[in-house]
Amino acid sequence: MRMLGLTMKRKQWEPVAFASPSLLLIALVIVFPLAYSFYLSFQNFDLSVGPDYEFVGGKNYGEAIFRDPRFLGSVWNTAVIIAPSLVLELLLGLGIAMLLSRVLHGRPIITALLAIPAMVSPVMAAMAWRMMYGVKYGAINNLGRQLGILDVYFDWFSSPFVSILAVVLVDVWHNTPFMMLVLLAGLQSIPTELYEAARADGASAWQRFWSITLPLLKFTMAVGVMIRLIDLTKLFGLIFVLTFGGPGGSTETVAFTTYLMGFKDFRMSYAAALSYVIVGGVLVLTLVFFWMQRVREARAA
């Protein structure tokens, strides 16, 4: 009996002791700064003015949500970049995943080659593409001229519309491989018997796609899109290198505007408030994501 009591006690402290190092570090380096930042977002701390600050209530949040055309503009810009990126990444990712699932020879090597862009940092991706877009010495303009498609050197970052397209293209290049990998895994989990049975019943390729592939891939697609959506709200490195928000702020995303507010204008409190507005948005998206996962688990059970 006494021995049982001892082991009970041991079992009570051991899990805590094992878990505590990382939990302490997370509390110290993530949770505490976040709380401090939340506190700051209600002050008027401005490093360009001085180290002193005072409580101003919800003023920063009021300014961010109702009166700051730059931040509201960046919300719009972010949405304008996100929408076409998501659609293209989903469609291209699905297309390539379906091609890959039909390949008999060399699938692992082709998949690995296609996956490389997803492992590259946004900064490096943007840098590589800056050299692709280069006006006089870039690959695209030179190839276009060589093939006779372009007759002038085209500046890809001169107008807001084309700049946004250029940013979307880089994001599609960078993140379609992720979508492709997720959807390929989803496709491979669909039992081949279903397709064989459908074929025996005389279903066409198109019918097999609509009544087997799409319904069974729906949740995988939704999960992939949600993950991309949440990550796209953080778009920063790509913008930093590719356009630095230009031309005329047309590619300033929420993360980039917040960065400029904090580390160019040094309005720390206001930047903290902006970042909490972003956190609020991401939180809503994350809850939708968890809810979707739950629905999926409920269906699977």
- Smallest distance, other proteins to C-beta of residue 299, A: 19
Q: Give the nearer residue to other proteins in terms of CB position, either 168 or 181.
A: 181
283 residue type, one letter? L
- Smallest distance, other proteins to C-beta of residue 215, A: 21
Q: Give the nearer residue to other proteins in terms of CB position, either 65 or 127.
A: 127
Q: What is the DSSP annotation of 149-211? A: S-SS---TTSSHHHHHHHHHHHHHHHHHHHHHHHHHHHHHTS-HHHHHHHHHTT--HHHHIII
Structure tokens belonging to residue 13:
């402290």
- Smallest distance, other proteins to C-beta of residue 167, A: 14
The answer to whether 63 and 270 are in contact (CB under 8 A) is yes
Q: Give the nearer residue to other proteins in terms of CB position, either 80 or 257.
A: 257
b/e per residue 165-203 (b: at least 16 CB within 10 A): ebbbbbbbbbbbbbbbbbbbebbeebeeeebeebeeeeb
Nearest to 171 by CA among 247, 249, 82: 82
- Smallest distance, other proteins to C-beta of residue 282, A: 6
* Spatial distance between the Cα atoms of 298 and 301, rounded to a whole number of angstroms: 5
- Smallest distance, other proteins to C-beta of residue 71, A: 13
Q: Give the nearer residue to other proteins in terms of CB position, either 80 or 184.
A: 184
Q: Give the nearer residue to other proteins in terms of CB position, either 26 or 295.
A: 26
